[in-house]
Structure 1
């Protein structure tokens, strides 16, 4: 394969010879004899010039070419790309570093706040329960029930410097085994430090049906005057310390109680309540 930029000899180079001198008439032979120039003598034409071929090679590096004008524009565009990429990388790195510093600062502040304040979970207790609407279950398991429960719950804030702000949207449910009997709303109020507050919670249910096994279990507990009930509450709260108020946090309260019956004013024989939160306690 031929390399561009070089000159190669032809395979069948053409032959070239100098033309012979023309013969003049006899009348001019004397003038020719007097002319001693070798280029005009017949001897030169008698010996032809050797048949040779000359090859001229120019190095490829010395062949100068001028690129098209559009190449210069492309070169400028390509030269600007690394600068843009470096600028964007610096911007992204600065943004990520700022976010990391902000998260570290927020985490450090929250840790210091927690260590200084040391928030404690409030304690809860059930002081009284009044229930109606469960009498039909004693005679038939297929009868729909409409329970109505009034409960008095004591909430005790044992923190010295923290106030608990109970928000709207809290719910309270009461269960017998796996059957949900009724539900109600947790009241909205503010509880100051070292404060004990009694709450009146109203819970109602409608169209509640029990299976035969659940009904038999409830009847047996009623005969023994020892009926176990479970109370679940989900309460959104905010914690306030001086001018600082936290975001909304869901506190979960669970009470396992035992009462002496299912009709009228019931005596609470046993009670065990606990509260937990995913962020504070």
Structure 2
């Protein structure tokens, strides 16, 4: 009988041992049933989940709520303001100086000066649904450069809707040291252009329908140029420009 020679392969002593896996539940080994084919083994590996997101802190939630509330308040205020302008359509009253008469202008000595002006002031309320109450505490003053010549006040009255009111306001003044002022006015008289300024501070209350708002104090400034300053003569106003400034909630209008 022929001798069968088997080829022997060298074995690596450091190589890991070869292990053949047999499916669980198989009673027969591969040696006992070499022709048996087993299905592939499905291995289940543990799933490693990512770290869950951290919950928002209490401070972050409070900040988000605060910002949301502020945005809502701004939207509500803007809607109310828009509704107010849509219903009442407010317009700023206009002021103009239409006449000036001097009843007294005396330089009694080199150190004394007195004056009395009559100013014709026209006030127009262009609003159809807004009335204006002119309150106590008003002040109207006439200035030449940095020298106050005279001053007075407006009467207390109510100006209705779409109304025009003409006032003749008397201003009086006295300056102890009038020498410098007299020299300046004498030189300015020769040019025929004398700049004057009227400053007004008028406390008012605005009436919206039946609602009366709190008191505010507008400041009016009228810059004008007259041809002369002489008593009992017609004084022509060459130019006049009046501006009104109202300060409400730290906003100048």
Give the TM-score normalised by structure 1: 0.57
Q: Which residue of 2 aligns with 1:168?
A: 136
5 Å-filtered alignment, 1:98-137, equals 109-110=80-81, 112-136=83-107
Cα deviation for residue 118 of structure 1 reads 3.2
Q: Which residue of 2 aligns with 1:147?
A: 115
SS at structure 2 position matched to 1:249: coil
Name whichever structure is richer in strand by fraction: 2
Distance, in Å, in 1 between the alignment partners of 2:172 and 2:140 is 10
* Aligned counterpart in structure 2 of residue 251 of structure 1, from 215, 218, 224: 218
Q: Which residue of 2 aligns with 1:267?
A: 236
Cα deviation for residue 242 of structure 1 reads 1.0
* Aligned counterpart in structure 2 of residue 207 of structure 1, from 175, 178, 182: 175
* Aligned counterpart in structure 2 of residue 194 of structure 1, from 129, 147, 162: 162
Distance, in Å, in 2 between the alignment partners of 1:135 and 1:270 is 25
List alignment gaps of at least 5 residues for structure 2.
Answer: 1-69
Name whichever structure is richer in helix by fraction: 1
| Residue-by-residue CA offset, 1:20-42 (whole Å, 9 max, x unaligned) | xxxxxxxxxxxxxxxxxxxxxxx
Distance, in Å, in 2 between the alignment partners of 1:108 and 1:118 is 15
SS at structure 2 position matched to 1:169: coil
| Residue-by-residue CA offset, 1:55-105 (whole Å, 9 max, x unaligned) | xxxxxxxxxxxxxxxxxxxxxxxxxxxxxxxxxxxxxxxxxxxxx9xx877
Distance, in Å, in 2 between the alignment partners of 1:238 and 1:107 is 23
Distance, in Å, in 2 between the alignment partners of 1:244 and 1:183 is 33
Give the TM-score normalised by structure 2: 0.63
Distance, in Å, in 1 between the alignment partners of 2:156 and 2:80 is 29
Q: Which residue of 2 aligns with 1:229?
A: 196
- The two structures, once aligned, show a CA RMSD in angstroms of 3.0
SS at structure 1 position matched to 2:174: coil
List alignment gaps of at least 5 residues for structure 1.
Answer: 1-99
Q: How many residues align?
A: 185
- Change in CA separation of 1:244 and 1:261 when aligned onto 2, cut-off 3 Å: same
Distance, in Å, in 2 between the alignment partners of 1:199 and 1:275 is 18
* Aligned counterpart in structure 1 of residue 149 of structure 2, from 168, 172, 181: 181
Distance, in Å, in 1 between the alignment partners of 2:222 and 2:156 is 20
SS at structure 2 position matched to 1:146: strand
- Change in CA separation of 1:123 and 1:151 when aligned onto 2, cut-off 3 Å: same
CA contact (8 A) 1:133 1:145 kept: no
CA contact (8 A) 1:121 1:276 kept: no
SS at structure 1 position matched to 2:132: strand
5 Å-filtered alignment, 1:5-24, equals none
CA contact (8 A) 1:176 1:229 kept: yes
Cα deviation for residue 135 of structure 1 reads 4.2
